[in-house]
Amino acid sequence: MTHDVLVLGGGAAGLFAAAVAGRRGRQVAVLERSREPGRKILISGGGRCNFTNLNCRPEHFLSDNPHFARSALARYTPADFVRLVERHGIRYHEKTLGQLFCDGSSQEVLELLLNECAESSVDVVTDCDVQGVESGFHVRTAGGVFEAPKLIVATGGLSIPKIGATDLGYRIASQFGLRIVPPRPALVPLLFDQADRTRWDGLSGVAATVTARADGVAFRERLLFTHRGLSGPAILQASSYWQPGGVLDVDLLPDVDIARELIDRRERGDRQTTRSIVAEHLPRRLADRWFDVMSRASVGAMTGNDDVRALADGLHHWRVTPSGTEGFEKAEVTAGGVDTRELSSQTMESRAVPGLYFIGEVVDVTGHLGGFNFQWAWASGNAVGHAV
C-alpha cells in the first residue's frame, strides 16, 4: 500500500493537512486508530465546535519557542477557514471574544473535513492501529504495511484518553531522535489542597467574573467552584501557565475598588456591614464564606481603614496554591510536545529527518481557550499540506 504521503491521525490537523495535500495531486492516506475519525472535534465547544477565533494572534499561543507558530498562523488565518466554512454552507455565530461556533453541531465541521478529503481522493483508513514506523517510511499496522516517502504525524496529545489519545506521536519523535518538551495537562481544572477543600466546601457551582493570574499571565473571565477545586474559563486559561507548586493569584473583584468604596460609604455614614457591601459585588454564598474563613471583619459595621485595606488586598489577591490538576482525563489540550526547534516553521518538517513532519497538538504549540487550538490545527495542516 504505497502513497505519496501518509498522515497518522484523523483529527482536525491530520484531515485538513491530507485534504490540502490531496488537492495538490498527492496520493494521501490518513491512518486513524479509532473506528471513526474526528472524535475530539465532535465533543468540542459543547458539541458545536468552536472552530476558530477572529482575534487569533501569536500571543494567544504558549510554547518554549514562542515565535515558531507565527509563520503558519500568518499564512492561514481565521478568515481563510471561515471562507471554507461558508463555502460548505455551514451556518455559524460569534460568541464573546471572537469565538466562532457552528449554529448546528460539530458534526458539520467533521463532515466538511471528510468531504474535502473525499474531493481530494484521500484514503481515510479507520480502525488502523499503528504498530511501528520504520525508516523509509514503512508504517506497520494490523491491516498491513503502508509506505510513503513523506510521513505527517498528527496524532494529537495525551488529553482525554477515553476517546483514544495515546503517546504514539511522542514515541515516533523519540525514535527518530527529536527532542520532546515534557507534555502536561493544559486548559484543565485545578485542585484544592485539603485545607482549601475544607475552607470552600459546599460552594460547588458558584461562579464569579475574576482575573486569574499564573506565572505573570492574567485572564479576566469566569471562575467556577467545583467539588474538588476551581474551574471555569479563567482557571482553564491560567492552568496552561501554572506549574506544580506555583501560586494562583485571583482578583475576585476586578472591576471594583472595594477599599475606596468601603471607606467612602463609611464616611457618608453608611451603617451596613462590610459583609453586606461586599456581597453586592460577589455571589452571596461566596461573600459569606469569605468572611467566615478569611476576614476578621465578619460581623458588625465597617472597621478601620487599615482593616478595610487588608480586606481589599485579600479580595484582590486571593492566593491559592493548587495541589495539582484534574489531569489529562479532564484537560482540553496537552501543553508541551515535539520541540519546535527541531522543525521548520515554514513546512513543519524535521530538520534532521527529511520527509518527517509534525503538526497540531503533538507539537509544542498550545493555544488559549476559545478556538485557538483549532486555528493552529488548520494553520499547521495548511503549512505541511503545501510542503509535501
Q: Write out the three cell numbers for 384.
A: 505541511
Amino acid at site 356: L
Instruction: Give the 3-state secondary structure of residue 149.
Output: coil
Q: What is the pLDDT, as a whole number, of residue 303?
A: 64
Domain with CATH 3.50.50.60 in the chain: 5-184+335-385
CA distances from 123 to 22, 147, 210, 387 (A): 10, 13, 47, 19
CATH of 189-326, picked from 3.30.70.100, 2.40.30.10, 3.20.19.10, 2.60.40.10, is 2.40.30.10
Task: Give the per-residue pLDDT at 273.
Answer: 83
Burial of 179-204, coded b for 16+ CB within 10 Å and e otherwise, reads ebbebbbbbbbbbbeeebeeebeebe
Q: Which of 138, 202, 203 is nearest to 172 (CA)?
A: 138
Q: Which three cell numbers stand for residue 109?
A: 465541521
Which segments of the chain belong to CATH 2.40.30.10? 189-326
- Name the CATH superfamily, with its identifier, for domain 5-184+335-385: FAD/NAD(P)-binding domain (3.50.50.60)
Question: Angle at the Cα of 280 (from 277 to 286), degrees rounded to 5?
Answer: 95
H helix and E strand count, the chain: 13, 22
Q: How many CA within 13 A on the CB side of residue 119? A: 12
CA distance 260 to 369: 34
10 Å Cβ neighbour count for 339? 19
What dihedral do alpha carbons 225, 227, 228, 234 form, nearest 10°?
A: -20
State residue 171 phi and psi, 5-degree precision: -65, -40
Q: What's the pTM?
A: 0.94
Backbone φ and ψ of 79, nearest 5°: -60, -35
Alpha helix ranges (H) inside 218-283 = 233-239, 258-267, 274-278
d(CA 9, CA 351): 21
Name the amino acid, one letter, at 298. S
Contact 35, 158 (CB under 8 A): no
Query: Torsion angle, CA of 115/169/68/65, rounded to 10 degrees?
Result: 150
Chain segment 187-210, per-residue pLDDT in tens = 999 999 999 999 999 999 999 999
What is the per-residue pLDDT for 271?
75
Low-confidence ranges of the chain (pLDDT < 70): 295-303
Q: What is the model's pLDDT at position 246?
A: 97
